[in-house]
Amino acid sequence: MLIGNSTLLFSWLLVHLPLQLTSTSVGYVVGTVSYAGWLQLQLAMLLDFSFRRRLFFAYCAVGNAAV
């Protein structure tokens, strides 16, 4: 009985622990990258006032290219 329970526990750890660690680290990396991108965008808009105009023109160019 003890051997069966320890095997079950070991197999559960073998499957669930890497999945938990992987999902946590992926979520952390995605959150960090998106937050860094948002900060970079805010900094660029703060430092460069014509950035909004260029962003608008780039958005229009992408929209025209898509159509």
Q: Could you list the pLDDT tens digit for every one of the 67 residues in the chain?
A: 455 567 777 777 777 777 777 777 777 777 787 888 788 877 777 776 666 677 777 877 877 776 5
Identify the DSSP state of 67.
-
Contact 62, 56 (CB under 8 A): no
Instruction: Specify the number of domains making up the chain.
Output: 1
2-47 helix and 51-66 helix, angle to the nearest 10 degrees: 110
Whole-number pLDDT of residue 10: 77
Query: Which residue range(s) make up the domain with 41?
Result: 2-66
pTM to 2 decimal places: 0.36
